[in-house]
Each structure stands twice: as C-alpha cells, then as structure tokens.
Amino acid sequence: MANDIEQLAANTIRTLAIDAVQKANSGHPGGPMGMADMAVVLWSKFLKVDPKNPTWENRDRFVLSAGHASMLLYSALHLAGFPISIEDIKNFRQLGYPTAGHPELDVALGIETTTGPLGQGLATGVGMALAEVKLRDIFGPELVDHRTYGIVSDGDIMEGVAFEAASLAGHLGLGKLMYLYDDNDITLDGPKEWSYSEDTSQRFAAAGWQTLAVDGHDRAAIAEAITAGIADEARPTIISCKTHIAYGSPNKQDSAAAHGSPLGEEEVALVKAGFGWEHEPFHVPSEVYAFFAEALDDYHQESGDWQRNLERRLAGDAELAAAWRTHFGDEPFSVAVPEYEPDARVATRAISGAVVNAVAADRSDFLGGSADLTPTNNTYIDSSTNFSAEDRSGRNFRFGVREHGMGAIVNGINLHGGLRCFGATFLTFSDYMRGAIRLGALMGAPSIWVLTHDSIFLGEDGPTHQAVEHLAALRAIPNLWVIRPANAAEVAGGWEVALNRRQGPTVLVFSRQGLPAGGVDPVPVDRGAYVIREGADAVLVATGSELETAIAAADILSAEGKTVRVVSMPCREAFLAQDEAYRAEVLGNGIPVASLEAGVTFGWSDIVGSDGLSIGVDRFGASAPAAVLAEEFGFTGSQVADKLRSWLG
C-alpha cells in the first residue's frame, strides 16, 4: 500500500509539472518528471520542515540547485501544505504569482534558495551547512541540529563554482550536507557524453565526500542511501540517482527535447495514459494531500516542542538569552571610529582590519574570511582561530583560492540566519564571484564583500590587478550598495551601514596605499555623501583616495579666487536613495558639478548631469609606483585643478 501511495504521489508531481509547463507554454518538464521519486522520498521520510512554521530556525534546508526544474519544488511545496496554491501553479511563470520560472528565495513559501545560474545552489548549500555546524558549536545540538539537502543536476556538477565549494565542504567535513544528483545523462544541448566524461563519484570522493549510487526511480533504494548518508557524520554525501529525464514520456524520455520545452498536448495525453491518469489538468488526489500531511505532522509537533524548549531555556539562562538575541534578533550594530595620530596616513584596508577586530570583540555572530588573501585584505580576527574540521569554534574562514565558491558560500551562510559573514578578495577579482554577488542582490541576502586594492594606485602589480571598471560594474547591479571610504570615519561608518543592512548585500572597497586617517567624529555614510568644505563656483565630488586629491585641487583654485565645494561620496546608492532636499543640500542648485574617481567615468552622469565633468581612468592601468601613476593618469592636485579651471572657463 505504501508503494501505491508513493507512486501516486510521484505521478501527481509529474502531472502537475507537465500541466503547468504546458499551460504556460514555457518551462522544463523533463527534470521534474525524472526527479519526482527522489522528491517523494525526501519530503515524506527525511526533510524536517513545518509548513505551519516555515521560518523555524531548526528546520532542514532544501536547495533545488537545478532551478530550472522549479515545478518539482512548487508541486512538492503545494502537496506538503506550504502556501503555494493550485491557482499559483496554474499561473506558472506569470506576472504577479510566486511560481517564477527560476525562483530565488521566499522562506515563508518554503523556498530556501534555488538558482538559475547552475552550480550556485550547490555552492550556496555548502554555506548553509557550514552555518549549521558553526551555530551548533555555539548553542549545542539541543537547539541547532538540522541538515542541508539538495537536488543537483549534471549542469550543476559541470560548473566550476560547484566544485570549488564541494572541495571546501569535503575539506571541512560538513557531514550534515547531502545532495541527490539527478544523473540522467542529458543536458540542454543533448547527450552529456558530448561534453562530459568524468566519473563524478570519483571526483567527489577525491574531495572527501561519501559517494553512493542508486536507481533514481527505486524509492526504497533512495531511502536506504539517504539513511546511509545520514549515518556518516564526518563527510558530506552525494548520491548519484540514475534517472530518466521525462520519465514516462513515450517519445521524449531520455531526450534533450524534454529539457526546456513543453511536451505538447499529444505527448501529455500519452504520458497520462501510461500512468493511468484519468483526471482533468492540475488534479490532486485527496489521498496524496493526506499522505504528505501525515508525513509532516511529526515535524509540526517537533517544531512546537523545540520552540517551547527554546523559550524555557532562554527564560532560565540570561547569558544564553543574550547570545540568542545577538544571533537571531535584530539588535543593531554600532561601530566606533578607530583613533590615529593627527597626521597619520593609513591604508583603508588596515583601518578596516581594526574595525573587523573591534566588531568581532563585541559581537559573537560576526565572522568571515578571505580567498587566500587574508594578510593583504586585513580580515583576520585576532581573538579567534581558523574554522576547521577539528575546530568548529574558529571565526576565520580560510576559503583558499576559490573566489567563485566563496561568493556562494558566504551567501548561504547569511541566508541561513544567525550569523553575519563577510568574504574578501581583491576588487579586480570580484569578476570571479560576480554571479554570486548578483544573485545575492537579487535574493536580498545581507552578504558583505571586503574588496581591497581598489584602483591603479596599488601600483607595481600592474593592470591585471588594478581595478578600473569594477566600481562601475558593481554599481550597475540593482540592490547592491558599493561603499568606497576615504578615511577612518568613513570606514567605520561603511561597516556600520553594511552590518545593519538586512535587505541586500554591501561591497566595502578599500585602498592598499596610505591615506589621511582623519578624526574620530562619525560622518553620515548612511546618507551616501556629505560636504567636506563649502564653495560656490563648482562642486567636486570624490570617493576614496581621490578625496585627498580633490581637497588639494580646491586649495589651488581657492588661491586663485575660485571656491570649490568638495563633497565626499562614499556610497552613490545611499545618496541617490535620499530625498531631493538632501541631495540639493549636498550638491547645490545650479552649481556646476564634477566627479573625481580613479576608475571609469561610466555612470557618473547620474551625479554630475549632462553638462558635468567626470575625471577618471577610461583605460587600463600600468605597472609603476603609485606616485608615478598619479602623474601619468592626471590625478595630482595640480592636474585636477587644471582640468577644473579649463572646464569652468
């Protein structure tokens, strides 16, 4: 009888998927049809979630890395009792409905994360599993003890970001991470053998994973393999589930034709006839609803018991209650400005390092790491150790030379909840993790990126390491704030903005070379820009290391009788979010506006207007000492003054 209801449940998932794709005339029916048996086993026997309490902190996380198979997830969520309705499924891929072609994140609906860019989900799940291990070390298994499951595809496995993250997961022994690999030998182009011939199991085994293989349509074998994976606490597990894409389709099974196109009305009819499915489209048998409700009822009871236990423990332990509020509450971060000698010149990356350590001393939920650039990014938390398979207490993550993987892992840690995590590398290497940065912005993940060596002024390393177009490229991503501080007050303010920003990621961009450290009085980084000195003939807006140059140019022109208002703009996004009155207060009304930044001038018209002047670097850099490059690229005070003088006439 159990097999009968499980088969009915699997066919319900299949028919909902093909009906939704057919009605939308768009989507990927083959994947959900092949993965349905895996989904039934996972959701009815193992996945610890509570549809009545979807944000339960100790729930299991499920990542559909093969995000194109989204109808598998929507069908499972609907059947399990999450607020995805049949009407939502009937309007798959339509405006205003939560059933997008590739969903990103909606925990209230049961969607933890799924990804359009293949590989990102697999790597993000590594971050979720890492967060669970870290929080379990802090709070103990009575409060934190859950798993991260996922379904991954051939395409996920091929992407470089996936194996970067998988390599680190094996190295760190993330034993509560498990992926079911939909091994169907088909990609969108055609047979997998056209482009891929590696032994995936051996590849993951070499990275320290437990590897298992089963028939992906044998539900008993799948359950047995998952149980074996759970038993191995020392290694993450990947289960190769050999499946047929478009399972049950007489003419499209095992064919790329079913990957990204509707089956067609005639083929849908043949599939349903083969299943003995004599129902109208979008039909769900009542016994399937009952099957999933019964399967998940124990977890509803468990989530309630867990909540009561949490409340009882917090009421009796003030220290634990304070720690829990820090990690899972919304207490704001407060960041003090580091103090330096009046004439000190300090790289903003070094100032950031001081802030990192001060915040870490104050907040146990703050942690992070670098992609093998810890000493140069200045990101090491001195009061802690390295997080490792042997030491879960460490707050320093050694991501290795894995920028791609680091990006997705940091997103996963921050999406999991309970921790505020940053990742660090050189600004120019942000290209390697752009997919993760963009996806984090799309999901509203509160990730923080520390990107140092911010311009041509890093000097002798040359143009491969000198960021020129990267500030503009990052600013082009919606919902991403880019903060480029000029001194200690702006560094502290930038960190405070980033740590308190919960609805999207923030990039903090720091210099290699020394800059005037400035005073200890806070400045309004949260407003994006502020006036450094007044002037009536022109406004010169600068960021980061160019603020010093802007002041020098204004001094030269002041001696000639022209007054220049100097504005520091550490965050354009924050400034453009201000009301019109504040923007006018900073930039003035009718005063010519110029910008100064050691990067491409693209995008600065938003600030200076069509008649403004943008001084920048619209070419690649060169290898030479910073002072020589300043002269070569026109970034001395006298050269900037000459350009302003000529522009003003």
Catalytic residues: 403
Phi, psi dihedral angles at 48 (to 5 degrees): -90, 90
CA–CA distance, 474 with 482 (Å, rounded to integer): 7
> Residue 144: CB partners within 8 Å, gap ≥ 6?
57, 58, 132, 135, 136, 138
> HEC string of 305-337?
HHHHHHHHHHHHCHHHHHHHHHHHCCCCCCCCC
Exposed e or buried b per residue across 369-382, where buried means at least 16 C-beta atoms within 10 angstroms of its C-beta: bbbbbbebbbbbbe
- Residue 433 CA to residue 208 CA, distance in Å, equals 24
Residue 483: phi and psi, rounded to 5, are -115, 120
CA distances to 106, 441, 469, 501, 505 from 479, in Å: 17, 5, 19, 11, 7
The 10 Å Cβ neighbour count of residue 471 is: 28
Tokens of 423: 């990742």
Q: Are 631 and 477 in contact (CB under 8 A)?
A: no
Residue found by looking up tokens 């903090």 in the block:
508
The residues that bridge with 448 in the sheet, in sequence order, are 422, 506
Q: Is 435 helix (H, G, I), strand (E, B) or coil?
A: helix
Whole-number Å distance between alpha carbons of 471 and 616: 12
> How many angstroms separate the Cα of 47 from the Cα of each of 61, 78, 229, 302, 633?
8, 15, 13, 13, 58
- Any idea what DSSP says for residue 254? T
Question: d(Cα 341, Cα 8) in Å, to the nearest integer?
Answer: 74
The backbone region for 255, taken as left when phi is positive above 0, alpha when psi lies in -120 to 50, beta otherwise, is: beta
With beta carbons less than 8 A apart as the criterion, state whether 327 and 138 touch: yes
